[in-house]
Amino acid sequence: MINAEPRTRLLNQNPNVLNIAAIDNIDMKDATFQKTPLFGISSIMEQWQTKIDIVFDQLVSQGSNFSIEHINEAIKKNIDSTLFVAPPNVVILEPGEALSKDEHVHKAVDMFLEDFGYTEDGVLNLVCDEAIYRHMKDYKNEEQTVHCILGQWHTNKAMCSTIIKAFSGYGIFGLAAQLGVKFLDKLEKVADYRATFRVLGLLWAAVGVAIHQYAKEKNISISDIPKGNNNILKVWYIFYQWTGYLKLYKHSIRLANFDLQMHSLMAFAPVFHITRKYRYAESVSRFISELRSDPQFLQALRTVPLVNLTQEENCLALDEALETLGVKFLKENMTGYATNLENLKLNMKATQAEYDRLILLISEFTGDSLISRSPRSIKDRLEALWKLINELKSAFNSQEPESHPLFADTTQLTEKGYQRMFACYELGIKKNE
């Protein structure tokens, strides 16, 4: 354990390697990018909303009980992916002090530069979660330019939480319960990110299908819905749009399309303000502003936006790769007790050495193992999805939708609550400016 040395695994001699530093806690653009408004729905996102509407419309017209997988596959066909590159080399160097203060975070960056050395081009790309990103705001280094990358994986988790909070008073928990979700408190807290994202994806699919079926039956255009007087339909049309941005953000991560990722984030950003996630709103604003003001930084992320695993369409966000390939492995495989800081360091070094010997085996298990693939489970999920779709259609057609069983425990399906929802997005854009 004492002889294990993580620095020997660093790839600092190859000029074609883009080294990205990541700081985390271990607890036991196309040309239009610079020209579009900083926040809100860009022309790119308007085009994507049309593409998504077409996907739903085509599937609904087929009349069969399709699944969310059909929707996902149809959308992904429209997303260009970055070239396939080799898997990453993840190395955790030294644990430092808890990253709860600016000086501790700054010290961790200095430790990295001491261990790894200053880069030839004088630029260090540092990926971090929102809390650490905020602590780096005032970091100064006369010899090295440090570009902070707001972690996409942590941001995606925050987007899930934001959607749930935004619609918590409008019936989202009733819809989730209809799907069979039993632990609604864990859904609200995003206790399991992958499970939460899966539930939101199913809700988005159900709402999208119900809306398109309603529009088809009423012979109206989807774009006419916001101008109509069916308030419950308008609320869930907004959910369909906002969760669509969340879905596109995740798809753009898996397919390594950085421009789509940024346009999705710009469209979603006002929702952070709406739900009082002010720190995320500020950090997203700062990150996008820095990208737009530094073409070299933007191009670097376009070139290597994410981390490849073992196959195409299976990219990880930069901070997700650290958690999946580094931190998570350490948490699960460190032996003994970390009685002091020195013992913790030795455990981390030894565990990473063991990771090298197991990497080929581990690579076989990079898929999504949380979702049961048995025929019975797939059938049950499909039945629950279509039952919810039919219930939503019933509510959309009801003269008193607020009395529908889906919305039994809501607090915001009132005239005041409706008007608040309809006005909040534009208000969020103004607050971000």
Residues 284 and 414 in one domain: yes
Whether residue 1 is contained in a domain is answered as no
Whether residue 275 is contained in a domain is answered as yes
Give me the DSSP letters along 245-295.
HHHHHHHHHHTT-HHHHHHHHHHHHHHHHHTT-HHHHHHHHHHHHHHHH-H
When mean pLDDT is compared across 51-55, 253-257, 370-374, 390-394, the lowest value belongs to 370-374
Residues 420 and 349 in one domain: no
pLDDT at 114: 78
Q: What is the pLDDT of residues 31-47, one digit of tens each?
A: 455 555 667 888 999 99
Q: With a cut of 60, say whether residue 3 has pLDDT above it.
A: no
Q: What is the pLDDT of residues 127-183, one digit of tens each?
A: 888 988 999 988 888 888 888 889 898 999 999 999 999 999 999 999 999 998 887
pLDDT at 1: 43
Residues 386 and 400 in one domain: yes
Whether residue 306 is contained in a domain is answered as yes
Residue predicted with more confidence, 83 or 77:
77
User: What mean pLDDT is predicted for residues 55-65?
Assistant: 88
Q: With a cut of 60, say whether residue 119 has pLDDT above it.
A: yes
How many C-beta atoms lie closer than 10 Å to residue 251's C-beta? Answer: 19
Residues 380 and 252 in one domain: yes
**At which of 365, 397, 414 does a domain end?**
365
CA distances from 301 to 111, 170, 222, 259, 310 (A): 24, 38, 35, 9, 20
pLDDT-above-90 percentage for the chain:
44
Residues 283 and 318 in one domain: no
Residues 265 and 379 in one domain: yes
Residues 283 and 376 in one domain: yes
In Å, how far from its chain's centre is CA 105? 24
pLDDT at 128: 85
pLDDT at 344: 55
Residue predicted with more confidence, 126 or 366:
126
Q: How far apart are CA 370 and CA 171, in angstroms?
A: 26
User: What mean pLDDT is predicted for residues 98-106?
Assistant: 80
Residues 405 and 347 in one domain: no
pLDDT-above-70 percentage for the chain:
70
Residues 196 and 276 in one domain: yes
Half-sphere exposure (Cβ direction) of 357: Cα atoms closer than 13 Å: 5
Whether residue 317 is contained in a domain is answered as yes
Q: With a cut of 90, say whether residue 382 has pLDDT above it.
A: no
Count up the domains in the chain and report the number.
Answer: 2
User: What mean pLDDT is predicted for residues 65-92?
Assistant: 75
Residue 108 binned pLDDT confidence (cut-offs 50, 70, 90): confident
How many C-beta atoms lie closer than 10 Å to residue 225's C-beta? Answer: 20
Residues 361 and 383 in one domain: no
Q: What is the pLDDT of residues 314-359, one digit of tens each?
A: 677 777 776 766 555 555 555 555 555 565 555 555 554 444 444 4
CA distances from 42 to 32, 126, 245, 265, 288 (A): 9, 28, 12, 11, 14
Q: What is the pLDDT of residues 235-268, one digit of tens each?
A: 999 999 999 999 999 999 888 889 999 999 999 9
Whether residue 413 is contained in a domain is answered as yes
Give the residue from 28, 36, 40, 34 showing the smallest Cα distance to 265.
40
Residues 414 and 427 in one domain: yes
Report the predicted TM-score, pTM, of the whole model to 2 decimal places. 0.80
Whether residue 233 is contained in a domain is answered as yes
pLDDT at 320: 76
Q: How far apart are CA 88 and CA 105, in angstroms?
A: 24
When mean pLDDT is compared across 23-37, 102-116, 140-154, 405-419, the lowest value belongs to 23-37
Give CA torsion, residues 196, 201, 204, 209, to 10 deg.
Answer: -140
Residue 14: which domain range?
6-29+84-150+298-365
Whether residue 127 is contained in a domain is answered as yes
pLDDT at 31: 47
Whether residue 187 is contained in a domain is answered as yes
**At which of 340, 365, 390 does a domain end?**
365
Residue 80 binned pLDDT confidence (cut-offs 50, 70, 90): confident
Residues 354 and 400 in one domain: no
**At which of 311, 340, 365 does a domain end?**
365
Terminal alpha carbon distance of the chain: 52
Q: Are 109 and 131 in contact (CB under 8 A)?
A: no
